[in-house]
Structure 1
Amino acid sequence: MAKYTYPLPLRWVDADSYGHVNNSRFLTYLEEARTRMFHDMLPADEAERRQHAFVVKQSVVDYQAPLVYREAPVDVDVWVVTCRGARLELGYAIRDADRTYAEAITKMAAYNLDTGSPRRISEAEAEFFARYTEA
């Protein structure tokens, strides 16, 4: 399976008083990696991007180990679990070479922000996602 991997730098503000990255920041990390993955696929024109958006329906995070603030980045792996119709499901791992800190799933819907309604995933989008689809 091909994964998209984003090396994410941690920020001091992400840590709580114990020096651990706050659990709410993990969702931000998923969003950051997903946004960077989608960057090459999304149209450059803002109006067209609104018509070819994706919205999050559900996120589930399985926290596996505390992530202590540090200078070194963590890797956020993203891959496609399901892509069909209007449905897109992504898998994630927040990790480094030694440990996985969290695994997650995000269920998304292809969405037209102008009409406020779901839309079908286009052929071009499906081809893009096929590069990152689980075997």
Structure 2
Amino acid sequence: MSVHIYQCPVRWSDMDVYGVVNNVSFLRLLEEARVDFIWRLGAEQGDAFFSGGSVVVRHAIEYKRPLVHRHEPVAIHMWVSEVRAAAVTIEYEVRDGDTLCALAATTMAPFNYEGRYPRTMSDEETAFFERFLNPRKALSCAC
């Protein structure tokens, strides 16, 4: 199984009044990691979903430990747990060193913005995501 690891900076502004990374900020960190995974790797290895258009259809996060501001980046491990004709699910582990801070999953669907309708994934998109395919789910529930 291939895993993409993104070293994500945690900004001071990501924290809330309680001194921990806010739940909305967690989504932003996951977005940064996902964009790095799809765009940066996609540019090297073929079409990777954004050039043809896509939308997020589901997010789920399970918080394990608080994450606080730090100067070192936090490691976000990503892999693909499911590839279908019209959807892909990306799983995440957010780690502060050896500490697991959160588990998450995002399901995305291909979408034609110009025509404003759902589409199926191209062969290139499917091939890209299959390189990172592992059926292991980060989250234990089917949220």
TM-score normalised over the length of structure 2: 0.84
Q: Secondary structure at the match of 2:104?
A: strand
Unaligned runs of 5+ in 1: 43-47
Structure 1: distance between partners of 2:124 and 2:4? 18
Instruction: Give the count of matched residue pairs.
Output: 128
Query: Deviation of residue 17 (structure 1)?
Result: 2.5
Alignment correspondent of 2:117: 117
Q: Match for residue 26 of structure 1?
A: 26
Runs (5+) with no aligned partner, structure 2: 44-49, 136-143
Distance in 2 (CA, whole Å) between partners of 1:53 and 1:33 is: 18
Runs (4 or more) in structure 1 with deviation over 3 Å come to none
Correspondence for 1:41: 42
For the 8 Å contact 2:83–2:89, the answer to whether it is kept is yes
Deviation at 1:18, TM superposition (A): 2.7
For normalisation by structure 1, the TM-score amounts to 0.88
Give the Cα separation in 2 of the matches to 1:77 and 1:71.
19
Deviations 1:16-74 (A, max 9, x none): 223211111110011111111111426xxxxx92xx11210010100111001111110
- Deviation at residue 132 of structure 1 after TM alignment: 0.9
Letter in 2 for 1:10: V
The alignment's C-alpha RMSD in Å is: 1.5
Question: 2:101 & 2:119 partners in 1: Cα distance?
Answer: 34
Helix, strand or coil for the counterpart of 1:38?
Answer: helix
Identity %: 38
- Secondary structure of 2:101's counterpart equals strand
Alignment of 1:19-98 (within 5 A): 19-39=19-39, 40-41=41-42, 49=51, 52-98=52-98
Q: Letter of the 1:129 partner, please give it.
A: F
